[in-house]
Amino acid sequence: MSADSATPARWRLVEIWGDTADLGHLAWSIVIGIAVSLTGYLVASRVLMSTVGTPELARAYAMLAGLGGCVVSGLICAKLFTPKREVVEGAAADPRWREEVLAELAGEQGDLGSVDDLPPAVVREMKELEIHDLFASYKPRARRTEGAAP
């Protein structure tokens, strides 16, 4: 098996809610979620119709069982489909990648500002996360268009 075949093809990945997911695993997760939660709802509905006095109350409790099925299906999918991402902590990360992320962040927000302007609690937390020096030493690259005439 080659190194390229060990990683999923780029077209199989999709970004959802700020995270990357495999389309196959996503499809199976949806199927599992529907099957488990709907089964929980239907079984609870059948059992509760004969034991609870009013049909409205039986449906309400059955919906709670369906929601419980959603939680159970989430646990099943979390066990079946483990995360594919690699988390790199400390100095092992590529510094160019960090510079690209900071440049992108600065582009979205306009300017990152100065670390000196932050409250002491934020500075303390940044130091605990070991990102203070990264933000303190960030100098945006000079834009090519700055020297050009309008």
Q: Phi-psi region for residue 110, left (φ > 0), alpha (ψ -120 to 50) or beta?
A: left
pLDDT tens, position by position, 4-33: 444 545 568 888 887 778 889 999 999 999
pLDDT tens, position by position, 46-77: 999 889 888 899 999 999 999 999 999 999 99
Question: Do residues 12 and 23 make contact, with C-beta atoms less than 8 angstroms apart?
Answer: yes
Report how far Cα 45 is from the mean position of its chain's Cα atoms.
34
What pLDDT was estimated at residue 70? 96
State the Cα torsion 28-59-45-47 to the nearest 10°.
Answer: 150
Rounded-to-integer distance, Cα 52 and Cα 47, Å: 9
Q: At what angle do helices 55-80 and 23-51 cross, to 10 degrees?
A: 150
